Amino acid sequence: MTPEINAGDTAWMLAATALVLLMTPALGLFYAGLVREKNTLNTFMMCLAAIGVAVITWAVVGYSLAFDGDGPIVGGLGHAFLDGVTFEPRDGTTIPHILFMAFQATFCIITTALVAGAVVERMRFVPFLVFAALWSVLVYAVLAHWAFGGGWLQEQGTLDFAGGVPVEMGSGFSALAAALVVGARKDYGRQALLPHNAMYVLVGAGLLWFGWFGFNGGSGFSTDNAGVLGFVNTLLTPAVTLVTWFVLDLIRSRQVTAIGAATAVIVGCVAITPSAGFLSPGWAMVLGVVATFPCYAAIAWRPRTRVDETLDVLAAHGIAGLTGILFIGFFAQADWNGVADGLVFGDAAQLGEQALAAVVAPAYAFGMTWVLLKVLGALMPLRGPAREEAVGMDLVHHGEEAYPTGEGAILISTEAGVDERVPVAQPA
Amino acid sequence: MKLVIGIVRPEKANDVLEALYRADVRGVSMTKILGHGGELDRVETYRGTRVKVGLADKVRFEVAVSDEFVEPTIEALCEGGRTGEVGDGKIFVVPLERAVRIRTGETDHGAVTPVGAAR
């Protein structure tokens, strides 16, 4: 018997899908604030481009590879071009299949945008578009199939509520590979490369948290307990991470930094993502403390290396996601989710299943991204000359500035055609 | 005593600061300015409106130095600011009549020599 469509579930999932889509422009704001002024637009554009590109690849083939059938490595092509994705309920849910597809599309989008954080301020825009298209299929769709599309990780019992495997570890370890292949910015290690707008970073982080309620709250695909637990845990864990981060900041430098606070919100949200529907609220708060330490350490350590993984995708997403995935193995509680117990509640095998995912997903994401960018780099230059990097990606690739003054700018033509009058200085 | 004025590309400002530092030149002021030195105009497009940005962002360094530091300062400005393309900027050297250090009242050579430096 196929279950009926449930109006309440469908209404919530429509809202949740819109919430998750908001996360990608929010990420654009977060990332754009962290880069230098001359790369503001380019950085935001990479996130915006991910929406365009990943929606198309998802509809054409990504969704099908992730969610059609239960082959161990990839799904089938039965849903290519959204064939058979209709108003009928998706198996195991009470929402229309087409809505399920749209909700999952927003995950593919934000994950693709996340990887951009590793290569901003230097990668050329067109190669990035090609990379985003291929990555969304070759890495994201494959990992999504493994973790929750019926693939081998799900088959052998790995738990991943809202995307610790494909979204968080997938983006984090791909980011490391991308940073290594594309190489460091020319000024890296020579100049102080400071965030140009801390307010964007804070506003972006706030909007990301807001969107995350759809991300985790929607991953139960209904308004029942799993979704509600996921929603509440998304409130608890980041709050605890935030305060823990404050304490670490205070111990380290006797000041509480704003950029650090914004990062802490992301780390908390990421850590609870895989485990949101599996932990009791109490353990979700403990996770907020536990996840802070490895991420804080990774962010403090990375700038001392030659690895210019520019916006710390690995530390904030890869490491936090990995922590969350492992945490399930210890503290999942069938009393709360009706699914499984972790080691502490009597099932040691669950930890083994989680640990396997924590090894295999990073390895695949890193390896595949490395190969993909090496091949792409052989076909087209991934970076422009050093001079273009010095001028900034905004002017070179978009012909625009984020903060034009208008002083000294002369109108040469409008949409109506070339202006025949004597050129005059444009009012600011 | 001379006032050395160097107008350079903003993206080379950091290289210039580094070169000045290595040449032991201290006491520098830096201003963001708009200017035009004959380079090609930059065209930007905003929703179909195309504009020619005639004045480009530049950075102006002003360095007051004693005579023995004039050459090292010019060399540092050239070395740090050069890309080889049109628009690298210019250096002007202007005679300096008087200099006073406000804190101590020292004048001229003493005023433009960094504190603690060998005279």
Give the pLDDT of residue A60.
98
A55 pLDDT above the threshold of 90: yes
Nearest Cα to Cα of residue A269 among A315, A204, A320, A309: A320
Looking at per-residue confidence, does B54 or B29 come out higher? Answer: B29
Query: Does the beta-carbon distance from A410 to B51 stay under 8 Å?
Result: yes
Give the pLDDT of residue A425.
43
Give the pLDDT of residue A21.
98
- Please report, as a single letter, which amino acid is at residue A65: L
In terms of average pLDDT, the best of A334-343, A353-362, A410-419 is A353-362
Q: How many angstroms separate the Cα of B49 from the Cα of each of A253, A412, A415, B2, B52?
A: 48, 8, 6, 46, 10
Give the pLDDT of residue A405.
77
Name chain A contacts of B44, Cβ cutoff 8 Å.
395, 399-401, 404, 409
pTM confidence score: 0.89
Burial group, residue A23, by CB count within 10 angstroms (0-12, 13-18, 19+): buried
A428 pLDDT above the threshold of 50: no
Nearest Cα to Cα of residue A136 among A166, A157, A108, A161: A108
Query: Does the beta-carbon distance from A399 to B43 stay under 8 Å?
Result: yes
A249 pLDDT above the threshold of 90: yes
Give the pLDDT of residue B52.
82
pLDDT (mean) for A99-112: 98
Name chain B contacts of A400, Cβ cutoff 8 Å.
44-46
Are the C-beta atoms of A175 and A309 separated by less than 8 Å?
A: yes
Query: Does the beta-carbon distance from B49 to A191 stay under 8 Å?
Result: no
A156's CB contacts (< 8 A; 6+ apart) are A353, A356
Are the C-beta atoms of A168 and A324 separated by less than 8 Å?
A: yes
Give the pLDDT of residue A427.
42
A55's CB contacts (< 8 A; 6+ apart) are A105, A109
**Dihedral, A312, A317, A322, A325 alpha carbons, nearest 10:** 170
pLDDT (mean) for A28-50: 97
Give the pLDDT of residue A412.
74
Both tokens assigned to A252: 């380290």
What are phi and psi for residue A419, nearest 5 degrees? Answer: -80, 120
Give the pLDDT of residue A423.
44
A113 pLDDT above the threshold of 90: yes
Run of H or E including A307: none
Buried-exposed string A30-58: b where 16+ CB fall within 10 A, e elsewhere: bbbbbbbebbbbbbbbbbebbbebbbebb
Give the pLDDT of residue A2.
60
**Straight-line distance from the first to the last Cα atom of chain A, in angstroms, rounded to the nearest whole number:** 66
Name chain A contacts of B19, Cβ cutoff 8 Å.
none
Q: How far apart are CA A41 and CA A58, in angstroms?
A: 25
B43's CB contacts (< 8 A; 6+ apart) are A399, A412, B50, B51, B52, B53
Q: Please tell me the least confidently modeled range out of A192-206, A317-331, A361-375, B75-89.
A: B75-89
pLDDT digits (tens, 9 = 90+) for A264-294: 999 999 999 999 999 999 999 999 999 999 9
B71's CB contacts (< 8 A; 6+ apart) are none
∠ CA B106-B19-B22 to the nearest 5 degrees? 65
Nearest Cα to Cα of residue B29 among B3, B1, B56, B68: B3
Q: How far apart are CA A333 and CA A9, in angstroms?
A: 24
Nearest Cα to Cα of residue A67 among A1, A200, A134, A166: A166
Coil, strand or helix at A28: helix
Q: Please tell me the least confidently modeled range out of A6-10, A111-115, B20-24.
A: B20-24
Are the C-beta atoms of A42 and A123 separated by less than 8 Å?
A: no
Give the pLDDT of residue A410.
75
pLDDT digits (tens, 9 = 90+) for B41-67: 778 888 878 888 878 889 999 999 999
Give the pLDDT of residue B117.
63
Confidence of residue A163 (pLDDT cuts 50, 70, 90): very high
pLDDT digits (tens, 9 = 90+) for A319-337: 999 999 999 999 999 988 7
Nearest Cα to Cα of residue A135 among A103, A166, A165, A104: A166
Residues of A near B (CB-CB distance < 8 A)?
38, 187, 190-191, 387, 390-392, 395, 399-401, 404, 407-415, 423, 426
Percent of chain B with pLDDT over 70: 97
Give the pLDDT of residue B57.
86
Contact pairs from chain A to chain B, CB under 8 Å: 56
Q: How far apart are CA A380 and CA A369, in angstroms?
A: 16
Confidence of residue A220 (pLDDT cuts 50, 70, 90): very high
Tell me the nearest-neighbour CA distance from B89 into chain A, angstroms: 15
pLDDT digits (tens, 9 = 90+) for A89-102: 998 999 999 999 99
Query: Does the beta-carbon distance from A390 to B52 stay under 8 Å?
Result: no
pLDDT digits (tens, 9 = 90+) for B85-108: 888 999 999 999 999 999 999 998
Which residues share a beta bridge with B20? Answer: none
A415 pLDDT above the threshold of 60: no
Out of B11, B14, B34, name the one closest to residue A408 (CB): B34
